[in-house]
Structure 1
Amino acid sequence: MSAAPLRIGLAGANAERGWAKDAHLGAINALPDLVVHAVSARTQDIADGAMAMFGAAKAYDDSLELTRDPDVDIVAVTVKVPEHRAIVLAAIAAGKHVYCEWPLGRDLAEAKEMADAARKAGVHVAIGLQGANSWAVRHAAQLVKDGVIGRPLSLRVVSPTGGWGAVSPPNYAYLQDKANGATLSTIAGGHTLAAIEAIIGSFTEVSARASILRDEMTLMGSNEVVKRTCADHLLTFGKHESGCISSLEVVGGVVDVPFQFELRGTNGTLSINGGHPGGYQVGPLTVTTTPESAAQLPATVSNVVQPSINVAEVWARFAKDIRSGSRTVPDFDRAVRLTRLLDAIDESSERGQVIAL
């Protein structure tokens, strides 16, 4: 007899909007080894509506209570970044496995605290870096490892996102405040930096310029203006442990420019292309090489559409890790390393210096 599906408690579920509805629900429904058992939201009415839509058995108006539900195997944290710490720590204390959206915390101290707690508890944890875990990025990394394009020499990346433009939905107003930890640099930048490191190796040094090109934005449906304290444009230049050099431009408020990843090696080139306005990590990606490679890395999950496509890859591998005891998905320690890189980028921009890592 096959094992019963792993039961998920979704913290931050909403029947009207949100990443849990838009991405996680489709991903989980595509995987027979997973089921949404419980949901939580900031009010009981919202939680009840999500329970009906998500097909859950229970609904909570308190995410901390959800973490203590004895029938929940995995807590998925999809709330705003400032709320991550309390829910993640409560879930770990309750012995639950945890899938937390990226960024893990508002700063390095929070990320380290959660990573340390997970390590000590021995639970399985996954950080929502679905772009770096996508079929395309893992396939590209394998092609580079196999020497298809020779030794990597230089990489150029352009990573656009429709966020951090002149206007924004009201529920994204908090993304404009750097203190909340959910910014263009950490979200669009962090997701892209994770893919870069997955393919050509860790940064050994970085220089950067983080700029605020529009210091105000308007909330859609109103004339309310919000002050922006985080960058809406990011440039980084790096050197990697592989010897490869890289440049990255993260552009906010842009929906008419595709994601471009162009890697040049001693024997050829590799490209990754995408076009989702929410950022490269949200939609499908294509990988091409010159010379062409016959090697193929199969996707873990089929018949999943955007924006669930890459999230489904994380969930499938995470469930397998929990069942088998393996640890293949990006975890909280990976989140800590990426947070340190982002801190180095901030330091470089503020000081105008190259920062060694």
Structure 2
Amino acid sequence: MREQAVANTGVHMTSTSPREGLIRVGVVGLSASGGWAATAHVPALAGLDGYELRALSASTAESARAAGEKYAVPLTFDSAEELARSEEVDLVVVTVKVPHHLELIRPALEAGKMVFSEWPLGADLAQAEELADLAHRRGVLTGVGLQARSAPPLRYLRDLVADGYVGRMLSTSMLGSGWIGGATYDDNYAYVLDVTSGATLPSIPFGHSADALTMVLGEFREVSALIENLRLEVVHITSGVVAAKTAEDQIAVTGVLESGAVAAMHFRGGTSRATAFHWEINGTDGDVVVKADQAQWWYGGLRLYGARGSDDAPIELPIPARYQRSLTQWTERTTEPACNVAHEYALLRDQITGNLAPDEDGVPDFRHAVRRHGTLERIREAARTGRKVALAGQGT
């Protein structure tokens, strides 16, 4: 059953020759003032064998120098192009806002460097396809930050389902809060109010969640969907300035998985006083519940509960140590944003060095990102037309 589960993940990485010594990382978008690179990538790389944070780039030479001093990064550049050309960088990591992905990833691919990009890969499917095509032509290894796939609880869950814990799967239901798309906004996230930014409730919270669901349970065969913008105006959290919002704040998808099971997903903008994240998997022999206390559940902090046979109620399922990949420093820090990113870097390292176990899949690559962008496009089509839409061919 395990071999079948791996084969159905639809994840492949562009091949590369294993490198000797440390993998030298250059981060595009690491800032002294904070941000996702500082919050997640720097802590994830710290203490992780096999990597050296060697370089960074920022929008100006001054900001690059400030970040270099703060994070003790020896090489600083004021452009992604310069960083990509450096012979002291093996892996380029792009952590900037989605609208800038295309322009900042392209130089690294053209320089023949391995590239890891945050999700979404592009602002839309066309941009993702352009980057995946360029990576294929250059023959470079790529990865995309769908880090829930690297989370130990979800890897364990996938194996539980594949090994028959719930029996024949009948249905699955997922309810989540979107974090973005709420009643307020701040300066850092003003850009997500624009539906064309590519950083929206459907693409980020729902995109991470749909990718996790399909990793564990298989792809959708067909979907119906509703995607709505019910908050046309939102308020700045400190100034009180009212801004127009075109990005959607509600997405509800129902469908049938390739297994024949019925699936329902609903994500709401902002946060809920009741439920941050709740996911049930129901089968003929058992049930599994996945819970998290934060809307950005793909960061970490997942808990699994299960019941089967004569069990009266679900009990918490401990995650076997083998799923931790020896990252013992994270076993008590699972709610930190860097937790699943660290597990993703560990998988990526083992791919680069050729040390993945034969039955283990690695992190998703740019081709996988294109498939997931395609899934989201089909869901938008279903919402736009009000009809069921087939997703045949979206998996591999």
Match of 2:281 in 1: 263
Distance of 1:317 and 1:132 partners within structure 2 = 10
Q: 1:310 and 2:310 equivalent? A: no
Q: 1:191 and 2:208 equivalent? A: yes
Distance of 1:284 and 1:124 partners within structure 2 = 29
Of 12, 31, 41, the residue aligned with 1:14 is 31
Identity %: 35
Distance of 2:206 and 2:53 partners within structure 1 = 30
Deviations 1:24-48 (Å, cap 9, x if unpaired)? 1110003021121111111222211
Q: 1:354 and 2:388 equivalent? A: yes
Distance of 2:199 and 2:369 partners within structure 1 = 14
164 and 30 in structure 1: CA distance in 2 versus 1, 3 angstrom threshold: farther
Structure 1 stretch displaced more, 173-182 or 111-120: 111-120
Deviations 1:33-74 (Å, cap 9, x if unpaired)? 112111111122221121122221111111121111110010
The alpha-carbon deviation at position 325 of structure 1 amounts to: 7.5
Q: 1:129 and 2:155 equivalent? A: no
CA RMSD between the two structures:
1.7
Distance of 1:318 and 1:94 partners within structure 2 = 20
Structure 1 stretch displaced more, 182-191 or 287-296: 287-296
Distance of 1:349 and 1:28 partners within structure 2 = 40
Of 215, 219, 229, the residue aligned with 1:202 is 219
Of 251, 275, 288, the residue aligned with 2:293 is 275
The alpha-carbon deviation at position 294 of structure 1 amounts to: 8.1
Match of 1:214 in 2: 231
Structure 1 stretch displaced more, 260-269 or 293-302: 293-302
SS state at 2:96 partner: coil
Q: How does 1:225-264 map to 2 (within 5 A)?
A: 225-256=242-273, 257-264=275-282
Of 349, 359, 376, the residue aligned with 1:319 is 349
Distance of 1:209 and 1:40 partners within structure 2 = 40
Matched-pair contact (CA < 8 Å) for 1:162–1:255: no
Match of 2:311 in 1: none
Distance of 2:277 and 2:219 partners within structure 1 = 21
The alpha-carbon deviation at position 255 of structure 1 amounts to: 4.7
Which one-letter code corresponds to 1:315 in the other structure?
Y
The alpha-carbon deviation at position 281 of structure 1 amounts to: 0.8
Match of 2:3 in 1: none
Structure 1 stretch displaced more, 252-261 or 310-319: 252-261
Distance of 2:319 and 2:302 partners within structure 1 = 17
Matched-pair contact (CA < 8 Å) for 1:74–1:96: yes
Number of aligned residue pairs: 355
Distance of 1:274 and 1:122 partners within structure 2 = 38
Q: Structure 2: give runs of 5+ residues left out of the alignment.
A: 1-18, 309-314, 392-396
SS state at 2:210 partner: helix
The alpha-carbon deviation at position 20 of structure 1 amounts to: 0.1
The alpha-carbon deviation at position 287 of structure 1 amounts to: 1.6
Distance of 1:254 and 1:319 partners within structure 2 = 35
Structure 1 stretch displaced more, 190-199 or 25-34: 25-34
Q: 1:76 and 2:76 equivalent? A: no
Structure 1 stretch displaced more, 156-165 or 297-306: 297-306
TM-score by length of 2: 0.86
Structure 1 stretch displaced more, 242-251 or 327-336: 327-336
The alpha-carbon deviation at position 221 of structure 1 amounts to: 2.2
The alpha-carbon deviation at position 308 of structure 1 amounts to: 0.4
Which one-letter code corresponds to 2:323 in the other structure?
P
Of 161, 175, 180, the residue aligned with 1:158 is 175
Of 371, 376, 382, the residue aligned with 1:337 is 371
